[in-house]
Structure 1
């Protein structure tokens, strides 16, 4: 064992003890975070406008601070972007994480000197949790790659801005700098395909032990490696044994990855976003990711099926239940208040509090009242693939409300690596799995409102072509699993 690996084990033990302390006192930990946030922001413009001085508890907070999304908070964000101080949080932000909004163009998410360290610590602690549980630490002596956006930053009124992953690249700890790949120059390449080709050239002869990124874009990297060498990735990188990912569910990609790698590797799931780093997988044995209750974020939860009703109940950590689909609401030390990030989660454990990401509150299908969410379509596809040699590169689902003939249906656009012999039989398998999970969908099938789902095969690299067409190829961009309209579907419709 190298000195570096030995030191990593000692560090992991220390961080594990600290984590257990707050994880075993969840309600008290969140209450402390809540009080500190309110106190620190009381003299900001937002704090004064919402009478933070009079907020003593969560009930007061509910009365004075409504749930908002970016559009609802934009009045204040615009002031911060213009360079005003003490608006949402004390002083000015260190950075803006710039993301693409669907209705307001670019979104500017503030990152402050109080919030920024938690983004770095959470990623580090995820790896340390893995070391603590498994005892595996030799990988820290090898090379690690983080597929991410460009670290080149712009500036707006004295505040630097860029993609979150690009900002984080400026905070890589010194002890990782020598191990980290790709080079700074390669990381700065904007065009994703050019960048991946350059990464292949830089890494192909290296001792890669850890690879990290959104699965769909890591898959592209793996495919180019295999294409260049005609070898599985696990043979090219003999010591590669840890894949770290976030942003999307890994399960639809797992079979494909294991085929590309040539063997199984351990994986760690992360739940980061521009608005905060919310959770990471702390165990290889237990389902879900540890919700980070001590990271400057106060969480509220609204049941997804009540979210669009008037004044839905806002739950705190001590009130949540297992298996319920919740919309995640956050208040943070970056100045986001009762903020809806758009993600839905479910708790898999209450001791400690672990979650899975079940989808997006805006990414669903309910064209007929079926309330289908991302977790359901991913689970149904996985169940249909079990025991077969079918493998899938990517997929998305949309409703077909006005078919040329017959009943409406859900249309699944699937890019297969290995296509099933009979698409209709495979569609029926997925449909059966969907009906078991979603009673509303089952009722619509039984009641002859909908017919069995239809699969449309997407040509190889079809989804990459789609993402390229909308300017979102690579980086941290993700294909929506579900749409309640046909905007994505229209790209793949065959022109007669």
Structure 2
């Protein structure tokens, strides 16, 4: 075992015990978190407005502080961006993560405090490596460097003392100096705003390095890794970096990319570890390499609440804590953080796969679904159905999106799917049928609407030209970071835009 592993093991012992503690006592851990958050913020404008000082229980907190979305939090956030402080959180906030969790034209600016940087985002990164090292005691990742594909940042237009940018750029800008010694590319290159220029410079700096792991969003890392192969003329990444052993991924589902990465990294020794991190916080990590669910990290300065999606639009519903959730239920997440987000709906949905320890898997977004005809199709259904269709037809999917086909006087409703294939299916008709049959099996509402094609007709499936999703993102200024086209959307906005690009592309 390398000596550095022994040092990491020694430094990790206390942290591993803390993780084990909240595995066993999740509610107690969350009680401690919310008490600390309320006490810290009682002197802020938000804390005074909602009378935080007397709060002594979760119930009192829920009664006094409203559940909100970004539009409701925005007036306070805009005031902070203009230079006011002590509004939502007592410490100075000068960083704002420009959220790419939405494809709306309007950007979201998530406040990032020093506490959320250190106790949430950086702690999540450290815990990821700690848990990986524990699960793989002979790992060599610490003998080389980690490759990270970051975003960019700029001075806020409202206040020259504030900065906005992708969360990845904020983390790179604030990373401890010692951690910077173990990563590539250099900070200067990592923060280049032009994505295509950044790729070229990363290739120059990273190819000669001993890269042992890389981290980031699967889609954009796929673009980078294919570019690396083009530049080197190698057939796979292990010919470039023979000691590569780990990809830490998050941001989008890994399911559509898994087979492509197996081709890029053809080794049984290659490991994949999922994390659940976003502009709002670092929430969960895969602690068992033999299971695809993730451990919810309950002691980071994030207090969690959950709204069952079948009651999401009910007024006056009280969200559940970790003490009351059940497995197999689709929940919208509500968070309170030491970055100044109070009972904030982040827009993601999850399902608990186990309790004690509390483990989750991401099922989709509160806005990214198709329910035009009462079918309630969510991203998790789509991912599983596509996986089945690929296995049955030998296809490999690079990107996809789907939207409704509206009823008219002469036609029934349905769904239209656009697939960019890395490998075309043997038969597109067989792929379509397999996709449809899997959705019927996975979703009883879809099954009912598809019965004898009374409401929903067979899906319309297109194999589109390679590169159209990249082109759409480029046209809309969304290259790099965590930007993505929604997998499912309850209107035809994205379908129509992508079909138009498909017609014009050669």
Verify same fold: TM over 0.5.
yes
Q: 1:137 aligns to what? A: 139
Q: Structure 1 CA distance, aligned partners of 2:216 and 2:464?
A: 24
Following TM superposition, by how much is the alpha carbon of 1:44 offset from its aligned partner in structure 2, in angstroms? 1.2
Question: Is 1:436 equivalent to 2:441 in the alignment?
Answer: yes
Q: Which moved more, 1:410-419 or 1:131-140?
A: 131-140
> Match for 2:258 among 251, 254, 259?
254
Matches within 5 A, 1:451-490: 451-490=457-496
The answer to whether residue 151 in structure 2 is matched with residue 146 in structure 1 is no
Aligned partners of 1:299 and 1:331 also within 8 Å = yes
How has the CA–CA distance of structure 1 residues 35 and 179 changed in structure 2, closer, same or farther, with 3 Å as cutoff? closer
Match of 2:355 in 1: 350
Residues 153/23 of structure 1: CA separation in 2 closer, same or farther (3 Å cut): farther
Matched residue, 2:240: 236
The verdict on how the C-alpha distance between 1:389 and 1:425 changes in structure 2, with shifts beyond 3 A counting, is closer
- The alignment's TM-score, normalised by the length of structure 1, stands at 0.95
Partners of 1:107 and 1:151 in 2: CA distance: 14
Say whether 1:188 aligns with 2:191.
yes
Q: Which runs of 5+ in 1 are unaligned?
A: none
* C-alpha contact (below 8 Å) 2:5/2:133 kept by paired residues: no
Contact preservation (8 Å) 2:393, 2:430: no
**Which string of whole-angstrom CA distances, capped at 9 and with x for unpartnered residues, describes residues 106-159 of structure 1?**
322111122210210111111110111221331111121011102565572523
Q: Deviations over 1:406-445 (max 9, x none)?
A: 4221111100011112111111101111111111000000
In 2, are the aligned partners of 1:410 and 1:454 still within 8 Å (CA)?
yes
Task: Tell me which moved more, 191-200 or 418-427.
Answer: 191-200
What's the counterpart of residue 424 of structure 1?
Answer: 429
Question: Could you tell me which residue of structure 2 aligns to residue 63 of structure 1?
Answer: 63
**In the aligned structure 2, how far is the partner of 1:250 from the partner of 1:366?**
24
Aligned with 1:120 (options 109, 119, 122): 122
SS of the aligned residue for 1:84 comes to coil
Deviation, structure 1 residue 459: 0.7
Q: Spell out, residue by residue over 1:205-241, the C-alpha distance to the aligned partner (whole angstroms, 9 max, x if none).
A: 3221101110001111121122231411122211111
CA deviation string 1:343-379 (max 9, x = no partner): 0011111121111111100111101111111111011
For residue 381 of structure 1, the aligned residue among 380, 386, 390 is: 386
2:295 to 290, 299, 305: 290
- CA–CA distance in 2 between the matches of 1:463 and 1:294? 38
Distance 2:207 2:86 in 1: 48
Q: Name the stretch that deviates more: 276-285 or 385-394.
A: 385-394
CA distance in 2, matches of 1:445, 1:91: 54
TM-score, with normalisation over the residues of structure 2?
Answer: 0.93
User: What secondary structure is seen at the aligned counterpart in 2 of 1:186?
Assistant: helix
Within 5 Å, give how 1:145-294 maps onto structure 2: 145-150=147-152, 154=156, 156=159, 158-228=161-231, 229-264=233-268, 265-294=270-299
Partner of 2:365: 360
Distance in 1 (alpha carbons) for counterparts of 2:230 and 2:104: 39
Structure 1 Cα separation of the partners of residues 371 and 301 of structure 2 = 35
Q: Counterpart in 2 of 1:492?
A: 498
Long gaps (5+) in structure 2: none
| Conserved 8 A contact 2:153-2:163 | no
Inter-partner Cα distance in structure 1 for 2:245 and 2:366: 34
Name 1:19's counterpart in structure 2.
Answer: 19
Change (3 A) 1:389 1:13: farther
Q: Distance in 2 between matches of 1:243 and 1:440?
A: 36
Which residue of structure 2 aligns with residue 340 of structure 1? 345
Q: 2: CA distance between counterparts of 1:283 and 1:173?
A: 28
Deviation at 1:173, TM superposition (A): 3.6
Q: How many residues are aligned here? A: 496
Give distance in 2, aligned partners of 1:34 and 1:204: 45
Distance change (3 Å), C-alpha of 1:315 and 1:179: same
